[in-house]
Amino acid sequence: MDCAGRVLAWWDRERDLRGRPIRPDVRLAGHEIWEQACRRTDMLLGDDGPAAELMENTVSQISRYLDAIEAPLSTRKHGLLLVAFCRALRRYAAKSSRLESVGASSEFSNYPADNAWLRHADARLDIEKIVGQLSEINATVLMLRAAEYEWKEIALLFGVSVASARNRFWREIQKIRCGTRSD
């Protein structure tokens, strides 16, 4: 659990602040994505300090969600937890809205141009735009597919058939492509 050369930790309790049990599969997934969560927090905020509180809240939230839908215990909760963590991180960043000057514009002319980061940023913005237009369920489906979940696992998680989950997702993608999505 190393973040930027120092050890950060988040509590790993069996119960949340209100005394509700936290699922062990979600706690395990939290430990397994912890370093990635720290990196993402440091990359977005320039400080990995808020990662612990965000992870604590996210683990508790996902545990409650999975209990509410009566999802079976399994070890494959990484994608769902990471999606929820990234959303919480983006909300936190938006609330903080911190901007720091890193130098004058004349100092940037000394750095070589590398357009790979620009292509990566454009692709990320495109994905975020698509996710922003998707319903919450299909945004979760997209993130689970990105985390290499099979359609069968996703269908089981949402309590629908594989065909229903897949068709619902692709119908909404087609509506977004055509610009006709209606909520």
Asked whether residue 168 is assigned to any structural domain, the reply reads: yes
Q: Looking at residue 132, what is its pLDDT?
A: 83
- pTM value is 0.50
Residue 110 covered by a domain: no
Q: Is residue 105 part of a domain?
A: no
pLDDT of residue 54: 93
The verdict on 132 and 69 lying in the same domain is no
Same domain, 3 and 42: yes
Residues in the chain: 183
Is residue 106 a part of any domain in this protein?
A: no
pLDDT score recorded for residue 144: 87
Distance CA 86, CA 36 (A): 10
135 and 77: one domain? no
Whether residue 90 sits in one domain with residue 2? yes
- Cβ-contact 60, 22 below 8 angstroms: yes
| Residues 6, 91 within the same domain | yes
Q: State residue 108's pLDDT score.
A: 64
Same domain for 66 and 152:
no
pLDDT in tens, the chain (183 residues): 444 455 566 667 788 878 889 999 999 998 899 999 999 988 888 888 899 899 999 999 999 999 888 888 876 788 889 999 999 999 998 888 655 556 666 666 666 666 777 788 888 888 778 888 889 899 889 888 888 889 999 999 999 999 999 999 999 988 888 875 544
Residues 81, 129, single domain; the answer is no
**In this structure, are 82 and 146 located in the same domain?**
no
Query: Hey, what are 125's tokens?
Result: 């913005």
**Residue 28 resides in a domain:** yes
Q: 135 and 84, same structural domain? A: no
Q: Which domain holds residue 146?
A: 124-183
Q: Of 56, 80, 97, which residue is a domain's last?
A: 97
Question: Domain ends where: 97, 112, 144?
Answer: 97
Q: Report if residue 109 sits inside a domain.
A: no
Domain boundary among 62, 97, 132: 97
Q: How many domains in the chain? A: 2
Is residue 144 situated within a structural domain? Answer: yes
